[in-house]
């Protein structure tokens, strides 16, 4: 019986590897289809959506292409809006860090500490914005608010995402041949798995609070 389970788990692993390679190729193709600049964010939203469906068993491998294309088209404008905002904030943070290099004395430490704080909030938002976007139905700017709040109240899982991405980095450095095939989809998988753990925990607490009332 144990041997049968091991074989089943092995085939399940191979199936997931196949899906991740396929999703990664879809992502690359969709990014190019959107002329890179306009394709990155809708393609990434579509990728997160498909991976979420696969994790919660809301879709089969056969539905990957259909779900990906449908989401890419539907979320094209809205996801680019989120992408423009996040890219702009990141760019201004970068400029601010360059600017404070010219400041000396106590003011430097004040500005530097403030930028580090804002940078941490930006990183949290960057990690959770897409999982929140594909999991919840919210108003546009509420996605940013929820991404920050969820990241703040779940520091251990946020650290867990960073550790997972760091381990992935070392894996890809060790085996660079994997980079074209699984990089984006593995990143999305790590972030989405950890985010779903947080979402389920928060949903459970919310239901418990409603019952207690």
Phi, psi of 61 (to 5 degrees): -60, -30
Strand ranges for 21-129 from DSSP E: none
Task: Name the CA radius of gyration of the chain, rounded.
Answer: 19
Q: How far is CA 150 from the centre of its chain?
A: 13
Instruction: Count CA within 13 A, CB hemisphere, residue 200.
Output: 10
136: containing domain: 2-212
- Number of domains forming the structure of the chain: 1
Q: Quick one: pLDDT at residue 147?
A: 96
Q: Quick one: pLDDT at residue 108?
A: 84
Q: Quick one: pLDDT at residue 210?
A: 66
Structure tokens at 132: 């929140």
Split the chain (213 residues) into runs of 10 and give each run's mean pLDDT: 63 86 95 92 97 81 88 96 96 91 83 93 96 95 95 93 95 90 95 95 78 64
């Amino acid at each position: 019986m144990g041997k049968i389970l091991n074989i089943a788990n092995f085939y399940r692993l191979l199936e997931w590897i196949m899906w991740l390679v396929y999703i990664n190729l879809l992502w690359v193709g969709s990014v190019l289809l959107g002329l890179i600049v306009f394709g990155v964010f809708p393609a990434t939203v579509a990728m997160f959506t498909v991976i979420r469906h696969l994790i919660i068993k809301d879709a089969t491998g056969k539905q990957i292409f259909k779900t990906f294309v449908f989401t890419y088209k539907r979320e094209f404008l809205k996801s680019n809006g989120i992408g423009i905002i996040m890219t702009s904030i990141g760019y201004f943070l970068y400029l601010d860090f360059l600017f404070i290099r010219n400041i000396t004395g106590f003011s430097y430490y004040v500005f530097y500490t403030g930028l580090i704080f804002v940078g941490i909030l930006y990183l949290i938002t960057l990690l959770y914005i897409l999982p929140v976007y594909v999991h919840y139905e919210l108003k546009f700017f509420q996605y940013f608010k929820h991404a920050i709040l969820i990241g703040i109240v779940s520091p251990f899982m946020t650290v867990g995402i960073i550790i997972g991405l760091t381990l992935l980095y070392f894996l890809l450095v060790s085996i660079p041949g994997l980079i074209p095939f699984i990089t984006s989809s593995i990143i999305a998988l790590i972030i989405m798995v950890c985010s779903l753990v947080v979402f389920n925990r928060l949903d459970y607490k919310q239901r418990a609070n409603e019952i207690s009332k």
